[in-house]
Amino acid sequence: MYQVMSATRGRRRKALGAPLRVRSAAPADLPQVIEIDQRATGLAKPAYWAGILRRYGRGGARRRFLVAEGAGGVLLGYVVGEVRDWEFGSPPCGWVFGIGVRPQAREAGVASAMLESMTGAFQRLGVTTVRTLIARDNRLVLSFFRSQGMMAAPVIPLEKEIG
Ligand SMILES: CC(C)(COP(=O)(O)OP(=O)(O)OC[C@H]1O[C@@H](n2cnc3c(N)ncnc32)[C@H](O)[C@@H]1OP(=O)(O)O)[C@@H](O)C(=O)NCCC(=O)NCCS
């Protein structure tokens, strides 16, 4: 359980007005997760999120699908991540590959609390590095991850059109 109402790093955070609970996602959370994602990306992806819940929601040893719950059971955000073994030749590493916070709940420390919970789980698995991939022009998400101490990694993604 996280209480996040502090002023940190010089920028005053909004107060959420209620304690925040970061926990594993459950099937009943999916409509709110889909809504939060849709607000950020413009796309509703129910099949995608059902798949994420199936694969990551059971809190298996290396996979996590966490949500942040505020007052009255309202979901304020989600984060998905996992520990991947020896990817790109690197030792096991924690990957965060989806994070979103409800617009009205942003700048109150919700994403920070969720990431802390995720990295705590990674650390308990013995992992010492956490990575993510973000769109180069998503400055908001980049600002968030930079604020968490994340820097450019010594790997780059490559791609080619095949269809
Ligand atoms: C990025 C996001 C997850 C951050 O969530 P949040 O709960 O508002 O983040 P926090 O309150 O924990 O902020 C932590 C730090 O991030 C940075 N940050 C957050 N919002 C910021 C903003 N609007 N401008 C600049 N920096 C910001 C700050 O450094 C902040 O630290 P501070 O409060 O001490 O100043 C949220 O804005 C979001 O969901 N955005 C849309 C995500 C998206 O585009 N998804 C689609 C592709 S993945």
User: Cα(118)–Cα(132) distance, rounded to whole angstroms?
Assistant: 12
Q: Give me the percent of the chain exceeding a pLDDT of 70.
A: 91
Cβ–Cβ < 8 Å for 119, 94:
yes
Give the pLDDT band (50/70/90) at residue 11.
low
The residues, ordered by sequence, that sit 6+ positions from 4 with a Cβ below 8 Å of its Cβ are 13, 16, 20, 108, 109, 110, 112, 113
Query: Is 156 inside any structural domain?
Result: no
pLDDT tens per residue across span 116-145: 999 999 999 999 999 999 999 999 999 999
Ligand 1 pocket: which residues have CB below 6 Å?
8-9, 11, 13, 40-41, 99-101, 106-112, 138, 140-141, 143-144, 147
Mind listing the pLDDT tens digit for each residue in 64-111? 999 999 999 999 999 999 999 987 778 899 999 999 999 999 999 999
The answer to pTM > 0.85 is yes
109 part of a folded domain: yes
Closest approach atom of ligand 1 to CA 140: 1
CA angle 70, 57, 47 (to 5 degrees): 95
Length of the chain: 163
Q: What is the H or E stretch that residue 151 is in?
A: none
Residue nearest atom 31 in ligand 1 by C-alpha distance: 147
Q: What is the CA radius of gyration of the chain?
A: 16
Atom of ligand 1 minimally distant from the CA of 141? 1
Amino acid at 106: R
Domain around 35: 21-147
Distance 144 CA to ligand 1 centre (A): 5
- Residue 52 belongs to domain with CATH number: 3.40.630.30
Domain count, the chain: 1
Domain-located, residue 11: no
Question: With 0-12 CB in 10 A as exposed, 13-18 as middle and 19+ as buried, what is 109?
Answer: buried
6 located within any domain: no
